[in-house]
Amino acid sequence: MNLALVPFDDRDGWIWLDGAFKPWREAKLHVLTHALHYASAVFEGERMYEGRIFALEEHTERLFRSAALLDFEIPYTKAAINRASTEVCERNNFSDCYVRPIAWRGSEQLSVSALNTRIHVAIAAWAWPKYFDEAKLKRGIRLCWAAYHRPPANAAPTAAKAVGLYMICTISKNIAERNGYEDALMLDSDGNIAETTGTNIFFVRDGALHTPIADCFLDGITRQTIIHLARESGVIVHERRIRPEELPSFSECFVVGTAAEVTPVGEIAEHLFTPGALTFSLKERYEELVRQPPAPHEHVGEGAALRVGCEPCSPKLSA
């Protein structure tokens, strides 16, 4: 059975919901839930590789920080969420899977104000081998320009992985797919290149990496990891404003994210790129890193990004 065709509410397995494991089909919420009406929810996207969730602690940190940005507090410790994230994979017999924690405001109050709502948390896991079609990965995916720009940081809590910020992503990605593209590239409010609907973007020029400054969109954990891996191998990384007019000056382009990992880009609208050596070497290095077993002093579930001294991770994520 092709799992992609099985609705997400009708699968076998277990979902961690508010502190206990529930049979998959019973992990439900009421239609009058604050989060459904007012987007008061934050989530994470993680990947388990060979029984270990890559950068689990950084993801859990971001989940808590996202909740704080949406003015609510997750009623569990980070250690409990870390434990439950790993346990939900084990309970479903996954050693390689995608993990989705989500926290949201409940049904106690259905108005813009939400001070009396209870906070719920669920964690689910499912098999998700590749974000983009495997056949397209080698020659690179095709991006078009997105229908919407990213909101500036003073117009939305842009550092949060908040469900409300994905409204413009879904609209943009749907249009892209309808027109035969794999994804859409979004600009910021000043017209600089920002990110795609679910990944951060990198360009290559003369052996150096160029990537937009992540100040109005998610500073992805994969983005930070790639910057570290590149610098570690002597590649210069420029975090800067990038104009769309610069596209012809870049030789390679790739996008990164937990789900997408490192994905070469072959086209942005009419601009063509040939996936090359730097893209493929970082892709390979990333794929090695996420599978690295923990060092003896580490506790279970600690992210490999920490181990390689990914110095931008912790301070930026907890900023």
By CB under 6 A, name the binding residues for ligand PMP: 45, 195, 198-200, 217-218, 220-223, 257-258
Task: Kindly tell me the burial class for residue 107, based on how many C-beta atoms sit within 10 Å of its own C-beta (0-12, 13-18, 19 or more).
Answer: middle
CA atoms lying within 13 Å on the CB side of residue 275: 19
Number of CB atoms found within 10 A of residue 197's CB: 20
User: At closest approach, how far in Å is the CB of 265 from ligand PMP?
Assistant: 14
User: At closest approach, how far in Å is the CB of 157 from ligand PMP?
Assistant: 13
Nearest in space to 161 (alpha carbons), one of 36, 80, 257, 79:
257
Three-state DSSP state, 98: strand
Q: Which is nearer to ligand PMP, 57 or 195 (CB)?
A: 195
Alpha helix segments (H runs only) across the chain: 34-38, 56-69, 78-91, 134-139, 167-178, 221-232, 277-289, 304-307, 313-317
User: At closest approach, how far in Å is the CB of 223 from ligand PMP?
Assistant: 6
Q: Which is nearer to ligand PMP, 210 or 223 (CB)?
A: 223
In the numeric block, which tokens belong to residue 80?
């409990």
Q: Where are the beta strands (DSSP E) in the chain?
A: 14-17, 20-23, 41-43, 46-49, 52-53, 97-105, 119-126, 141-145, 183-187, 193-196, 200-205, 208-211, 237-239, 252-257, 261-268, 271-272
Q: Which is nearer to ligand PMP, 45 or 275 (CB)?
A: 45
Q: Which is nearer to ligand PMP, 40 or 222 (CB)?
A: 222
User: At closest approach, how far in Å is the CB of 79 from ligand PMP?
Assistant: 21
User: At closest approach, how far in Å is the CB of 222 from ligand PMP?
Assistant: 3
Residues 263-287 as b or e (16 or more Cβ within 10 Å = b):
bbbbbbeeeebebeebbeebbebbe
User: At closest approach, how far in Å is the CB of 41 from ligand PMP?
Assistant: 14
CA dihedral 100, 9, 34, 37 (to 10 degrees): 110
Task: Catalytic residue, from 130, 138, 161, 283: name it.
Answer: 161
Q: Which is nearer to ligand PMP, 137 or 226 (CB)?
A: 226
Which residue pairs from 229-235 have beta carbons closer than 8 angstroms and sit at least 24 positions apart in sequence?
A: 229/282, 229/285, 229/286, 229/289, 229/308, 230/282, 232/308, 233/281, 233/285, 235/207, 235/208, 235/209, 235/278
User: At closest approach, how far in Å is the CB of 101 from ligand PMP?
Assistant: 12
Q: Which residue is nearest to ligand PMP (CB)?
A: 220
> Is 161 designated active site?
yes
Q: Which residues are catalytic?
A: 161
